[in-house]
Amino acid sequence: MTRTVSAAPRLVSETRENRPRILLAPITVTPSKPLTPSHLKGLLWTDVMYRACLLFADVDYRAGHTSYHLTEQTLGFWEFLDREVGDAEYQQLDEQQIGALYMRFRAAKRQPSSEAVRPYAAAVEQGWVHPAATRVLDLWRGHYAKLGLHDPGLAQHQPPGYSLAETINRLAWAGILLDHSAIGGPIFLDLTAEGRPLRQIIGADGRPNLMACALRDLLPLASHYDEVVLLHDPELAADYRLLARALDRCGAVTRTVAVGRVPIEGRIAATREGGWQDVTADRLLPRLAERFDGPALRLGARLYFIATLGPGDRQSFREDVLVHTVARAARILDAAAERGPHSPADLTVRHRHRGAHHFTDPYRLTAGLFTRHGPRPAMDLLRAVFL
């Protein structure tokens, strides 16, 4: 059955004067491999939060890759490709092939020096992206379209508002910087006065890590919002608590949300370790598309990765359960089409699924709206948030 789903409408919203301003800033995925179930879970979770919050708030979704291309793993991978692979026709490679190259890079004993990656960092600041990453991001845009995900600008150059020097100065002004660069040492985020651990953000060689890149991107923005929401892997919870506190010390109100990863056959492993090759977006989506239309696939993916798997990481990925959930989504859509566009539940979503914060919790929203025996959400809400 083929369904035609119109553009998502804006439901009843608060007046402009009462609408909070929210900055949604999820952790980005390095464009060097296919999207695994863990990546899909984080993306779908963020998408539902973003679209639900749009019903009652002014929301900016900040997930540009430009700031994070400067991390060591990304620049190192690009230097590795140019050194070991050369001028490959990356537009002819798929995500699996580029992912295999990334695994080779991570397994290599030789890691690029700061001198080797410095030209790459300078080029990134001017908007350059390696052809391998351009190819992966282009393929991801296709997956985003199939899943109905908001594209925050995957292919756009979105430079951070602060230079590295401006970031250091801002942290120093807030009194939360320990700078040893004058004597050839590293630079630290220093919240030890609050009983928090010292965290290096720039190495002695001048290379920034993920924390420094995030601070460059978010410090100039965060204080202009009523709430900043940082979504991240649980493994990075300690770093994200420090990041949130640093933003708060600079005038923001920050929340952190951990989204558990998805085990594969009972095991949570880094992408560089493999084991994900047959359950990535480029393999899963075509198999699902053979059996279901687009709206059912989009709703079913959200039901599975948000409501079924939940916020934790106990349940392993199961394709048979995903298929069953997409089939259920198709039945929900058929019933919603028969009932008509509106229901009273639509008007209370912005209040029922928020706690002592502005943002909407995707798990509480999705699990609450799609209970087995509860009233079904109407089509206008499905279009606005889940399709």
pLDDT (0 to 100) of residue 336: 81
Following DSSP, what letter does each residue of 43-108 receive, concatenated? HHHHHHHHHHHTTTSEEEE---SGGGGGSHHHHHHHHHIIIII-S--GGG--HHHHHHHHHHHHH-
Which has the closest alpha carbon to 203: 118, 293, 328, 110? Answer: 118
Which has the closest alpha carbon to 191: 230, 252, 242? Answer: 242
Mean pLDDT of 133-142: 97
pLDDT (0 to 100) of residue 18: 77
Q: Is the pLDDT of residue 96 over 50?
A: yes
- What percent of the chain shows pLDDT beyond 70? 89
pLDDT (0 to 100) of residue 10: 40
Task: Report the alpha-carbon distance of residue 227 to residue 21 in Å, rounded.
Answer: 7
* Contact criterion met (CB below 8 Å) for 339 and 382: no
pLDDT tens column, 152-197: 999 899 999 999 999 999 999 999 999 999 999 999 999 999 999 9
Q: What are phi and psi of 33, to 5 degrees?
A: -165, 175
Task: Report the alpha-carbon distance of residue 228 to residue 214 in Å, rounded.
Answer: 13
Q: Who wins on pLDDT, 16 or 345?
A: 16
- pLDDT grade for 278, boundaries at 50, 70 and 90: confident
Q: Is the pLDDT of residue 359 over 70?
A: yes
Written as six digits, the tokens of 135 are 């190819």
Task: Report the alpha-carbon distance of residue 177 to residue 187 in Å, rounded.
Answer: 7
Task: Report the alpha-carbon distance of residue 256 to residue 231 in Å, rounded.
Answer: 6
- How remote is the C-alpha of 105 from its chain's centroid? 23
Q: Is the pLDDT of residue 260 over 90?
A: yes
Q: Is the pLDDT of residue 223 over 90?
A: yes
pLDDT tens column, 6-37: 333 344 444 456 789 999 999 999 999 999 99
pLDDT (0 to 100) of residue 49: 95
pLDDT tens column, 46-84: 999 999 999 888 999 999 899 999 998 899 999 999 999
The mean predicted confidence, pLDDT, of the chain is: 89
pLDDT (0 to 100) of residue 380: 85
pLDDT (0 to 100) of residue 368: 86
- pLDDT grade for 211, boundaries at 50, 70 and 90: very high
